[in-house]
């Protein structure tokens, strides 16, 4: 669907003003259409209600696709390699989970795998699945459910926290042995940046509105 007013926020469904309730104070107010980059703020508590993010779906598609590539690299190559004498150990997420399970801590291993592999994967792959076809007015089967999932996964995807953990560990280990950076570390940096850019660029109101529009369009056709 082409936008009728390319400089205004997403193609709205309703003719009249849309109503919106602030998620902090529940004040009911009309949602004005905004110019690109502008934000609307709650008249009672000042919380940002939404922002018109230009090319939101295109940004989300591009950055989540890049994040997916970085994710493959980050899981394939080690983040760090540590050498002491003749023994050298490698750090990848799978290896860390494996060692934790061997050391009788399967729950911590499950947590680490979920927060650094499962949740980021659902987030990034889900965003690509929803945003890429939606740009052309197509919603793949289950797009709404996937959008719900990725909203749930958002707080649990902790790759940036893991990256901080890597830096802290580096500072801890620095004096003990020889630590080498792997390709995985740079890929992780790229993954964190791209995920943040994809999440920060997406306009959730546009996303949901477009999902609704495509669903209505499909219903009209049948």
21 lies in the site for another protein, by CB under 8 A: yes
Residue 133 phi, psi (nearest 5)? -70, -30
Contacting residue, 11, 27, 121, 186, with another protein by CB under 8 A: 27
38 lies in the site for another protein, by CB under 8 A: no
Contacting residue, 205, 206, 210, 214, with another protein by CB under 8 A: 205
Cβ neighbourhood burial of 196 (10 Å; 0-12, 13-18, 19+): middle
41 lies in the site for another protein, by CB under 8 A: no
Give the angle 158-178-193 at the CA atoms, nearest 5°. 25
Contacting residue, 108, 118, 125, 197, with another protein by CB under 8 A: 108
193 lies in the site for another protein, by CB under 8 A: no
| Stated length of the chain | 222
Tokens describing residue 46: 């000042």
Residue 204 phi, psi (nearest 5)? -65, -35
Q: How far is Cα 9 from Cα 30, in angstroms, rounded to an integer? A: 14
Q: How far is Cα 207 from Cα 87, in angstroms, rounded to an integer? A: 51
Stretch that binds another protein, among 63-71, 127-135, 155-163, 189-197 (CB under 8 A): 155-163
Q: How far is Cα 65 from Cα 62, in angstroms, rounded to an integer? A: 5
Give the angle 60-117-171 at the CA atoms, nearest 5°. 105
Contacting residue, 1, 19, 180, 200, with another protein by CB under 8 A: 19
218 lies in the site for another protein, by CB under 8 A: no
Cβ neighbourhood burial of 96 (10 Å; 0-12, 13-18, 19+): middle
- In the complex with another protein, the residue whose CB is nearer, 92 or 197, is 92
Applying CB under 8 A, the site for another protein has a residue count of 60
- Integer angstrom CA distances of residue 131 from 88, 96, 152, 153: 43, 33, 17, 16
Stretch that binds another protein, among 23-31, 55-63, 65-73, 191-199 (CB under 8 A): 23-31
CB of 21 to another protein, least distance (A): 4
Contacting residue, 20, 73, 196, 197, with another protein by CB under 8 A: 20
Residues lying near another protein in the complex (CB under 8 A): 19-21, 23-29, 43-47, 80, 82, 84-85, 87, 89, 91, 95-97, 99-100, 103, 105, 107-109, 111-112, 115-116, 144, 147-148, 151, 155-156, 158, 161-162, 164-166, 168-169, 171-173, 176, 179, 204-205, 208, 211-212
């Amino acid at each position: 669907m082409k936008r009728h007013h390319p400089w205004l926020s997403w193609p709205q469904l309703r003719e009249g003003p849309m109503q919106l309730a602030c998620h902090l104070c529940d004040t009911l107010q009309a949602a004005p259409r905004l110019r690109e980059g502008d934000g609307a703020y709650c008249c009672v508590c000042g919380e940002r209600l939404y922002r018109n993010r230009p090319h939101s779906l295109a940004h989300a598609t591009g950055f989540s696709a890049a994040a997916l590539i970085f994710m493959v690299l980050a899981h394939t190559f080690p983040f760090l390699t540590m050498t002491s004498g003749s023994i050298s150990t490698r750090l990848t997420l799978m290896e860390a989970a494996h060692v934790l399970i061997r050391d009788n801590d399967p729950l911590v291993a499950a947590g680490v795998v979920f927060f650094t592999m499962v949740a980021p994967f659902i987030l990034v792959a889900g965003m690509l699945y929803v945003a890429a076809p939606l740009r052309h007015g197509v919603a793949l089967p289950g797009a709404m459910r996937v959008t719900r999932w990725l909203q749930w996964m958002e707080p649990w995807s902790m790759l940036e926290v893991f990256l901080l953990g890597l830096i802290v560990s580096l500072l801890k280990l620095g004096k003990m042995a020889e630590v080498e950076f792997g390709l995985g570390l740079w890929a992780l940096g790229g993954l964190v940046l791209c995920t943040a850019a994809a999440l920060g660029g997406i306009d959730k109101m546009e996303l949901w509105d477009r999902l609704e529009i495509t669903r209505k369009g499909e219903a009209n056709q049948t």
